[in-house]
Amino acid sequence: MNTTDRRPPEDSTRRIVAYVGVGLVVPLISVLASVIAQVIAWPRLPDRIAVHWNASGEANNFGSPWIPLVMTVVIGLGLPALIVAPNLHPLRSGARGPSFRLVAAIAAATAAGVSYLLAASVVTQTDGQAARPGMMILVMIAVAAVVGVLGWLVIPKDLPRETRAADPLRLGRGEKVVWIGTETISRWFAGIAIAALIFSGVFVVGAAIGGTGGLVSAIVIVIAVVLVIATSVAFHVRIDADGLSVRSILGVPRFHVPADDIERVDVIEIRAIGDFGGYGIRMRGGALGVILRSGPAVEVTRRSNGRRFVVTIGDAGTAAAALATVATAQA
């Protein structure tokens, strides 16, 4: 009953090529252009140039022309390497979702804007001239906005996800269906949660050593972290005659879709980051999701408002069939 991504191979290839072009090639070209402009201007620069300005536009820090040159390369190429390159493998594996378009567009916009700003700040200081940071910042914003929007438009939209409606179970006279399960977060998400707990503990110890002044605040922060983790690491899922109920192991938050409000039940394959932008309780494109991992999920379309509710379930096929059964009985 699980579905697969049957997107034509050529469409998937086109998306990957566009993603690489926007998220990696555009930043590389922007950095090269900025570096070339700065190198050409170098012979006409003083030994020390303005590298920082205050709110009034007055230079308040000076340094070597090497500083903006190095910053251009580090920021312009470092950001794409951090947020764009890691997504290439998921894309090749068939991952989809607007998050990929957004990440590539942000990388391209940031690299183009920063590359322009740093190059302009250097070039305008040739022959002892003073830079005008206010105007440069306005142009940088315009450049980043144009490049970001164009980058977003260049990457193809995802084709509609292929789904398959769940088939109701065949029950004998007097039989009822109940499905109960507990879904937990992925190992990757669990590692982040453990790291957050360790960091919180170190934070409290540090506050205690430093005195009682910040101890109360540290404890409050730790309690908040623990509550967030406890309400997102695992969810109990129950399907019965009342419909679909999903609640965290602490009891809150909880979600309920009545059986008589279920229009359609589908089994889908999701990528947590690509489809919902991350893990936990997420909203994306008119859908509310309890996203604990990538993989099979049950998607419910509500009859009352057309909104969708998604919950990742390891045995999504059986759960969807059970839910379709109770929904059919209430129809």
Asked if residue 222 is part of any domain, the answer here is no
In a shared domain, residues 27 and 173: no
Asked if residue 17 is part of any domain, the answer here is yes
Q: Contact at 8 Å (CB) between 34 and 76?
A: yes
pLDDT value, residue 309: 95
In a shared domain, residues 82 and 140: yes
pLDDT value, residue 1: 37
In a shared domain, residues 124 and 59: yes
In a shared domain, residues 177 and 113: no
pTM above the 0.75 mark? Answer: no
Asked if residue 164 is part of any domain, the answer here is no
pLDDT value, residue 160: 58
Q: How many domains does the structure of the chain reveal?
A: 2
Q: Contact at 8 Å (CB) between 295 and 269?
A: yes
Determine the structural domain holding residue 287 and report its residue range: 169-185+232-329
Asked if residue 195 is part of any domain, the answer here is no
Give mean pLDDT in consecutive 10-residue pieces for the chain, a chain of 331 residues. 42 83 95 95 89 79 88 91 82 73 91 94 85 86 95 80 72 84 79 74 68 66 78 89 91 91 90 78 86 89 92 91 86 61
- Assign residue 325 the CATH number of its domain: 2.30.29.30
pLDDT value, residue 150: 95
Asked if residue 194 is part of any domain, the answer here is no
In a shared domain, residues 179 and 117: no
pLDDT value, residue 209: 66
In a shared domain, residues 237 and 89: no
In a shared domain, residues 150 and 178: no
Asked if residue 212 is part of any domain, the answer here is no
Asked if residue 299 is part of any domain, the answer here is yes
In a shared domain, residues 252 and 317: yes
In a shared domain, residues 33 and 144: yes
